[in-house]
Amino acid sequence: MNALLIACLACTAAAAAGFAFLLAAETLRNRRRTCYHNLLRQRYLRIVMLALFAERPAVPHFPLLRRRDSRLLLAETLAGLGAMTYGLPTGLLSEITARYRLDEWLLRRARFAQGYRRARYLALLSELPATESVSRHAARYGDSRNRYVRFYALMIALTAEPPAALQRMAGCAWAFSSTEVAEITAALRRGLLPIAYRPLVASASPNLRRVGLSIVRQFGIAEAGPQLLQLLDDDETAVAQADVLHTLCALRRPLLCREVRHSLGRMKPAERRTLMRCMARSSYAPELLRRLFDKNECAYYETIVQSHKRCLV
């Protein structure tokens, strides 16, 4: 009996040691791979930057491109460069993409992937210099059930054909989330989408209006104030009204007017609290709020203002 017990214990110990060894080996392998990827990414970035700032820009040679994941690293490097900068010579980036067939490769990977992986490949494609052919191929994902896939297919179309951007955004059947609006505005900041805010804010399409309001917020367009107050009168939907009120707060417009009081009266308590947080961020004085909110809500506002969270930066 004792011998059996000892044998069982020895087997368990051996199995545990085996698992621990495998785990350690896997961790080491992952660490090594991450290190290798970081080094290769840095190397690719260096090559691209040298080519971009050279006197005579020419398509550079990228080493180790046949190795596993190298092409993805190159695509990530170009996409990262595109996302974080503007004003770089796009011609050279397009030439690199075309020479190494990065767009074709990403499209092929997207075709065989599903869900978030597919969305990731499409997101990378949307950051690379776009062509109409890629946009045509990515259009098949425009009706995907996965929201991210659908959105990045739209982003590819927007960056490939900027003149048709408004039409495409208005044609979307789903409402843009705040993150999606931020992505579109980031593309606009990089100069990929030449869009004016006025027609967007006045548009009947909720998606276009959200993008317009986001532009007004981000660029601090104070002259849009009267148009926003007009919107509060015209649009009765709660979501649109909350968005307009947040934009007015971001612009630090005076809020003691009939339109704002009327909208606040129709908001739910949770929405009013969300608006208060936005007002605190925009430094509205608690004195002003006493004329807009009741006593309990004003007390809540004062707690936000006094909180250390106001000390943001």
Partner 1 sequence: MQRILIASDDGFSRELIRLALAGLGAEVRCAGCGAELERLCARVLFDLIIVLQTAPFFCGRELIGRLRPPGLRRPLVYVVSWQQSEQTVLSLLECGVNQYLTFPVSLQRLRAKVAGDLTLQQP
The site for partner 1 (CB under 8 A) is made up of 38, 41-42, 45-46, 49-50, 53, 77, 80-81, 83-88, 186, 189-190, 218, 220, 250, 281-283, 308-309, 311-313
Closest Cα to residue 74, out of 51, 92, 101, 55?
A: 101
Q: Is 195:166 a contact under the CB 8 Å cutoff?
A: yes
Q: Is 162:169 a contact under the CB 8 Å cutoff?
A: no
Q: Is 205:173 a contact under the CB 8 Å cutoff?
A: no
> Hey, how many other C-beta atoms are within 10 angstroms of the C-beta on 131?
16
Q: How far is the CB of 72 from partner 1 (least distance, A)?
A: 14
Q: Is 212:203 a contact under the CB 8 Å cutoff?
A: yes
Nearer to partner 1, 44 or 121 (CB): 44
Q: How far is the CB of 246 from partner 1 (least distance, A)?
A: 12
Q: How far is the CB of 133 from partner 1 (least distance, A)?
A: 25
Which residue is listed with tokens 């959200």?
210
Nearer to partner 1, 53 or 174 (CB): 53
Nearer to partner 1, 87 or 163 (CB): 87
Q: How far is the CB of 251 from partner 1 (least distance, A)?
A: 9
Nearer to partner 1, 144 or 214 (CB): 214
- For 111, the token pair is 């075709």
Nearer to partner 1, 71 or 118 (CB): 71
Q: How far is the CB of 54 from partner 1 (least distance, A)?
A: 11
DSSP symbol at 65:
T
- For 7, the token pair is 């044998």
Nearer to partner 1, 67 or 189 (CB): 189
Q: How far is the CB of 82 from partner 1 (least distance, A)?
A: 8
Q: Determine the 3-state secondary structure of 190 from DSSP.
A: coil
First vs last C-alpha separation in the chain: 69
